Structure 1
Amino acid sequence: SKDEVKMSGYFTHSGTILKLISLLGIAKDDEPMRHDLYPFDDRSWRSSLIDSFASNLAFVSF
């Protein structure tokens, strides 16, 4: 019918994507960041690599 929902879309800022990545444990380092380990050049969590200005995330359900 014409009233049937065809698609639902949700849009947000990249800060929310960073929170989701953190919650899912993506790019998690083996050792937590501490004051005596800075700079830690080979850490996995690098926002410049995992979250750009135009980040997108899509969940599709059929």
Structure 2
Amino acid sequence: MPIQIEHIAEPLVEQLMLDLQIAETKAADIFYSSTTFTQLADATTKIYEKDWQEIYLILKTELNF
């Protein structure tokens, strides 16, 4: 079964929009260019098995906020 990254990405992008008060396109650019996204897309990391909230904490740490 392929990983459905878009189902994980949606709440992450929405939360970035809220926390940073930015537009969806900017939030999506930040997420999709992040190391967190790269790790999420790599099935060997199994990060996709975590709740989106846990993944968001990883992303926040990466982005230093």
Q: Which has the larger radius of gyration?
A: 1
Q: TM-score range by the shorter chain?
A: 0.3 to 0.5
User: Whose RCO is larger (CA < 8 A, sep 6+)?
Assistant: 1
Give the TM-score taking structure 2 as reference length: 0.33
After TM superposition, the score normalised by the length of structure 1 is: 0.33
Greater fraction helix: 2
